[in-house]
A and B are shown apart, each in its own frame.
Chain A
């Protein structure tokens, strides 16, 4: 079955450490996205990529970095510069380079806890 795989489901890190969240899709989608979800704040866009080797900052990119070397993969690194990294992180993809009519397909998320 086609879909998006995020791993791991739960991740624990000490403050000051960088951590990388994995996102892989086998839907052959062009566009991929990272959102952060916090209670009562909905989803906020961190980074997105509409084609391989290109990506754009979203609304809250500070303290995060991404790469898009392969169509299937869009890893997110949470750096030590991110002030409040504890959150639920969602990866998504869509076809047609993210055209407005193309819905997003989401992974099941990674819950990151930094202490």
Chain B
């Protein structure tokens, strides 16, 4: 079945550092890909999405490009802030089946 693999955390960065969180997927067709963010004690919020190959999703300085050839959807941000500290989830959906999530990557940004 479909699956998502993302890098394990935790990831600790200094403020203004460059962030990459790797995500690769396995799917039988052409899924939609998502990144969600979860702040402490809260539910998940959609961060960005891409619905077809070569699409780039972006929001709040975060970006991810749907790479069909490498089955990847890596999350990047050029300069992280303390307020970006959270857990980040990569996810995919195919057809009308429910989202499949990766295990999440905890990011801590220190001042």
Inter-chain contact B96/A50, CB cutoff 8 Å: yes
* C-alpha gap A35/B96 in the complex (Å): 17
- The interface size bin for chain A is 20 to 34
Question: Does B77 interact with chain A (Cβ within 8 Å)?
Answer: no
Inter-chain contact A104/B46, CB cutoff 8 Å: yes
Q: Given A98-B96, A98-B98, A99-B96, do A109 and B103 touch, yes or no (CB 8 Å)?
A: no
Of the listed stretches B13-21, B37-45, B68-76, B78-86, chain A binds: B37-45
Distance in angstroms from A44 CB to nearest chain B CB is 8
A-B contact pairs, 6 of them (CB 8 A): A40-B103, A100-B31, A100-B95, A101-B93, A104-B99, A108-B43
Inter-chain contact A42/B103, CB cutoff 8 Å: yes
Question: Does B34 interact with chain A (Cβ within 8 Å)?
Answer: yes
Residues of A with C-beta under 8 A to B58: none
Inter-chain contact B101/A43, CB cutoff 8 Å: yes
Residues of A with C-beta under 8 A to B31: 100
- The interface size bin for chain B is 20 to 34
Pick from A97, A99, A106: contact of B45, CB below 8 A: A106
Interface string of B50-79 (1 = CB under 8 A from A): 010000000000000000000000000000
Q: Which of A40, A50, A104 has the most CB of B within 10 A?
A: A104
Residues of B with C-beta under 8 A to A101: 32, 49, 51, 93
Q: Enumerate chain A interface residues (CB-CB to B < 8 A).
A: 4, 6, 33, 35, 40-43, 45, 48, 50, 58, 90, 92, 97-101, 103-109
Which partner residue on chain A sits nearest B30 by CB separation? A100
Which partner residue on chain A sits nearest B94 by CB separation? A100
Distance in angstroms from A60 CB to nearest chain B CB is 12
Which partner residue on chain B sits nearest A33 by CB separation? B98
* C-alpha gap A90/B101 in the complex (Å): 13
* C-alpha gap A98/B93 in the complex (Å): 9
Pick from B32, B34, B43, B93: contact of A106, CB below 8 A: B43
Closest 7 CB pairs of A and B: A106-B43, A42-B103, A100-B93, A100-B32, A103-B46, A43-B101, A106-B44
Residues of A with C-beta under 8 A to B46: 103-105
